[in-house]
Amino acid sequence: MKERLTNNLGLKILSVVIAVFMWLIMVNVSNPLVSDSQEVTVDMINAEVLEKSNLTYEIIGKKTVTISYEVRIRDRYKISASDFYVYADLAEMYDVTGSVPVKIEVNDRNVKAMIEGTPIAKPGVVRVETEPLQKKRFYLTVNTIGQEEEGYVTGDVALNPEYVYVTGAESVIGQISSVGVELNVEGANSDMEGTTPVYFYDANGNKLNLAGEQAELNLTEVNYSMTVLKVKNLALDFQVDGKVADGYRFTGVECSKKSVDVEGLKSALASMSTLTIPKEYLSIDGATSDVQVDVDLKELLPDNITIAGDTDSVVHVTLKVEQLKKRTISYNVLNVKFEGERENYSYSFDADHVMLEIQGLEEDLDRLQANDIELSLDVTELGPGDHQAGFDIQLDDGYELVKYDPITVHVVDKMADSADHTESSGETQAEGRNEQ
């Protein structure tokens, strides 16, 4: 078998070449007719016929047809799909089946002359499905992407226009939850303006790609302007007014926020470091328990400054009021300091301890010890004899001396006592001599 194939191989190859050459000569000389085809997209015309009936349409199946025709073999390469215009006139739609006849036109007269007979479209009809047409107005939403420069936030956005109209099939319009724009604010630190495209969004906020769907916007771009504001953190300052009832003490302010972020023009915020809640909001006059107040910080801000972001502007303020308690402390009189002492006087008390009644907050009283107290007694004007002691007391500001038990201080003139003793001793000695 191998010998048969390889024997006279050159002659065999030559015979094949000659056969192909002869075939080409015959074809070119005879130029026979051949069948050919092109895939062409169908153009739907006269859609306004349906729009007048408040209808729209959707093509069922392929939007192309195959154009078959006969042409001489030598002209075959000269014909392409662009040489044909294929259309379906919706005015000729058969309502029962939704079928629209396909019609063919040859764009080039030379091409038309090359084609033998009439081109045929397969399929010969396009099937469409109609449904009610809807026109709906959507107010534009604004979505920002990116992050502003630190210390800045986006403010008000103005769109022109503020809404658009979408026209299309009810089933398509039903997919649209909102229509809006996207603004890139990456690194923004000043006001922005320009034009931006309009997008469709579903109920989850995702963009809808409705390319090819029967949904049209009355415009695809809108103008925008956006303010970019400076952000500043202001500490809250509280002005408390009034006086609590007797036996009670104001102990401070508690608030749901220590500070608040505000936004506004940089020049407007330059002179602000705190936000004061004035005394008109914070009265404790006559209070015997905590005072609860809700304050809307927006009411305290100038017109050109607002609370930043979506932060709740209402803060809850508690003005703490506690009842004072009393505690009795036993104080050793040896620790009393005498002021204005005389060297020739001696001072003593008629008791070892004095009982002090101290008033203060219960928590503070629990920590109070006798050695935290300093008692002093001014004896400058006290002469020899017994006197009612009038103490001065030094306590921390959180405490108050209510009263103390009466106590007597004895003042003795040591010199007079010594003279009396000497005189008494002399008299005794004289009496002894007389007796002798």
Q: What are phi and psi of 12, to 5 degrees?
A: -65, -45
User: Over the stretch 257-282, which tens digit does the pLDDT of each residue have?
Assistant: 999 999 888 888 888 889 999 999 99
184: confidence class by pLDDT, cuts 50, 70, 90: very high
Distance CA 135, CA 170 (A): 9
Dihedral sign for Cα 72, 74, 77, 79, please. negative
388: confidence class by pLDDT, cuts 50, 70, 90: very high
pLDDT at residue 5 greater than cutoff 60: no
Q: What are phi and psi of 129, to 5 degrees?
A: -125, 130
pLDDT score, position 14: 73
Return the CA Rg of the chain: 54
Q: Count CA within 13 A, CB hemisphere, residue 106.
A: 19
Q: Count CA within 13 A, CB hemisphere, residue 321.
A: 21
User: Over the stretch 303-315, which tens digit does the pLDDT of each residue have?
Assistant: 888 888 778 899 9
- DSSP class of residue 308 equals -
pLDDT score, position 213: 64
Mean per-residue pLDDT for 52-78?
A: 91
SS3 call for 117: strand
User: Over the stretch 109-122, which tens digit does the pLDDT of each residue have?
Assistant: 999 999 999 999 99
Tokens of 339: 């002021």
Mean per-residue pLDDT for 382-410?
A: 91
Mean per-residue pLDDT for 373-394?
A: 92
Distance CA 378, CA 376 (A): 7
278 cis-preceded (ω within 30 degrees of 0):
no
Mean per-residue pLDDT for 26-47?
A: 84
Write out the E strands in 90-209: 99-106, 115-122, 125-145, 152-160, 163-169, 178-184, 192-197, 199-201, 207-208
The reported pTM is: 0.52
Tokens of 85: 């215009």
pLDDT score, position 30: 59
pLDDT at residue 237 greater than cutoff 70: yes
The percentage of the chain sitting over the pLDDT mark of 90, rounded to a whole number, equals 62
How many CB atoms within 10 Å of residue 119? 21
How many CB atoms within 10 Å of residue 391? 18
Mean per-residue pLDDT for 378-393?
A: 92
pLDDT score, position 297: 94
Tokens of 245: 């009832």
**Cα 369 from chain centroid (whole Å):** 52
Q: What are phi and psi of 220, to 5 degrees?
A: -110, -10
Q: What is the average pLDDT score of the chain?
A: 88
426: confidence class by pLDDT, cuts 50, 70, 90: very low
Give yes or no for a contact between 79 and 71, defined as CB atoms under 8 angstroms apart: yes
Distance CA 88, CA 94 (A): 12
pLDDT score, position 15: 72
pLDDT score, position 432: 45
Mean per-residue pLDDT for 43-63?
A: 89
pLDDT at residue 435 greater than cutoff 90: no
pLDDT at residue 123 greater than cutoff 60: yes
pLDDT score, position 433: 39
pLDDT score, position 430: 41
Closest CA to 399 of 363, 372, 359: 359
Give yes or no for a contact between 405 and 342, defined as CB atoms under 8 angstroms apart: no
Give yes or no for a contact between 411 and 381, defined as CB atoms under 8 angstroms apart: no
User: Over the stretch 145-165, which tens digit does the pLDDT of each residue have?
Assistant: 999 888 888 888 999 999 999
Distance CA 104, CA 64 (A): 12
193: confidence class by pLDDT, cuts 50, 70, 90: very high
User: Over the stretch 340-378, which tens digit does the pLDDT of each residue have?
Assistant: 999 899 999 999 999 999 999 999 999 999 888 999 999
